[in-house]
């Protein structure tokens, strides 16, 4: 029998939030729709396992350390590099990032953070917030974050504008009060995913329609499960949906990748591995999208 044949199988699933609350649900073994995919993506922690670790780090190492970790992620988008940088205070934080700039590993989302342009982007970040602990003093709306990025920062396009919102809202306890404008400013890959789902309408219309569909599910946003899933979570899961459908990504791969990136970067990085969601063995969840 083909492993996709048993499409109605529901798996019992439990997970512990960074605050120690245990939550349980059932999830489809095989995701055949975006609604099923986003449920698995969020409940497994695979939508962004780093957020779980940042919340845990804020509790164990302090809010200031977690804030600096997030700033380090905005620079090189590499968890190990960010964990090392977070140990530095004030101007020494930026000095450290400057020292490692030529050779620091970059996540794929920061593959262009190199050369003169990347250096100037790093200097703009330093100028914007000489003390990295104060970096997230953005307006608490998506439009406000977008405006500040456009006025003060370099190489902070749609992807990293939303990443700032996520770090504020999901990791650092600074709620984003409105995501108005996001549907008109989607990052490239989520916009392409929406177009694949809704080929005959604008990606703005399609994204809003998809958010309405997801809203009916009553899902809560990870890692705290403290508010309904909204546009930011839909955007994140669109990336995963597209890579799963068209590139063969497996559900749980991001947890493994982010854990591996912390290996060898010190004691706090090692502790953050245990703060992430548990590994999801390959094949636990399947997709027929």
pLDDT in tens, 224-276: 999 999 999 999 999 999 999 999 999 999 999 999 999 999 999 999 999 99
- For residue 174, what pLDDT is reported? 98
Beta strands at 22-28 and 30-31: parallel, antiparallel or unpaired: unpaired
What is the number of other CB atoms lying within 10 angstroms of the CB of residue 230? 18
- For residue 47, what pLDDT is reported? 96
3-state SS assignment for residue 52: helix
pLDDT averaged over 10-residue windows placed end to end, the chain, 289 residues: 61 95 96 97 97 98 98 97 97 98 94 96 98 98 98 98 98 98 96 96 96 97 97 97 94 94 95 96 95
Q: Which helix (H) or strand (E) holds 159?
A: helix 158-166
- For residue 1, what pLDDT is reported? 41
3-state SS assignment for residue 30: strand
What is the number of other CB atoms lying within 10 angstroms of the CB of residue 220? 15
- For residue 8, what pLDDT is reported? 73
Among 178, 192, 198, 124, smallest CA distance to 154 is for 124
Q: Which two tokens stand for residue 216?
A: 């009916």
Q: Which long-range contacts (CB under 8 A, 24 or more apart) does 203-211 make?
A: 207/182, 207/183, 207/231, 207/234, 207/235, 208/183, 210/34, 210/234, 210/238, 211/183
- For residue 2, what pLDDT is reported? 46
The dihedral sign for the CA sequence 220, 139, 106, 192: positive
- For residue 77, what pLDDT is reported? 96
Residue 12 bridge partners (DSSP): 26
């Amino acid at each position: 029998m083909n492993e996709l044949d048993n499409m109605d199988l529901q798996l019992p699933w439990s997970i512990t939030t960074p605050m120690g609350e245990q939550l349980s649900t059932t999830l489809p073994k095989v995701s055949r729709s975006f609604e099923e995919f986003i449920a698995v993506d969020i409940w497994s922690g695979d939508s962004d396992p780093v957020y779980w670790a940042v919340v845990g780090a804020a509790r164990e190492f302090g809010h200031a350390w977690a804030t600096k970790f997030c700033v380090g992620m905005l620079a090189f988008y590499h968890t190990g590099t960010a964990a090392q940088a977070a140990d530095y205070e004030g101007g020494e934080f930026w000095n450290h990032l400057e020292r490692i700039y030529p050779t620091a590993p970059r996540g794929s989302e920061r593959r262009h953070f190199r050369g003169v342009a990347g250096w100037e982007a790093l200097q703009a970040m330093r100028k914007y917030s000489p003390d990295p602990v104060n970096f997230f003093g953005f307006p608490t709306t998506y439009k406000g974050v977008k405006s500040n990025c456009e006025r003060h920062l370099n190489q902070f396009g749609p992807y990293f504008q939303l990443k700032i919102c996520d770090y504020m809202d999901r990791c650092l306890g600074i709620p984003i009060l409105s995501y108005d404008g996001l549907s008109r400013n989607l990052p490239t890959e989520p916009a392409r995913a929406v177009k694949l789902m809704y080929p005959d309408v604008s990606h703005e219309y399609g994204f809003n329609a998809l958010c309405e569909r997801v809203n009916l599910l009553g899902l809560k946003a990870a890692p705290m499960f403290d508010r309904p899933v909204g546009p930011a979570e839909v955007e994140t899961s669109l990336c995963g949906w597209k890579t799963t459908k068209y590139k063969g990504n497996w559900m749980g791969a991001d947890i493994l990748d982010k854990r591996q990136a912390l290996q060898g970067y010190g004691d706090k990085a090692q502790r953050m591995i245990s703060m992430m969601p548990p590994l999801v063995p390959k094949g636990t969840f399947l997709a027929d999208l």
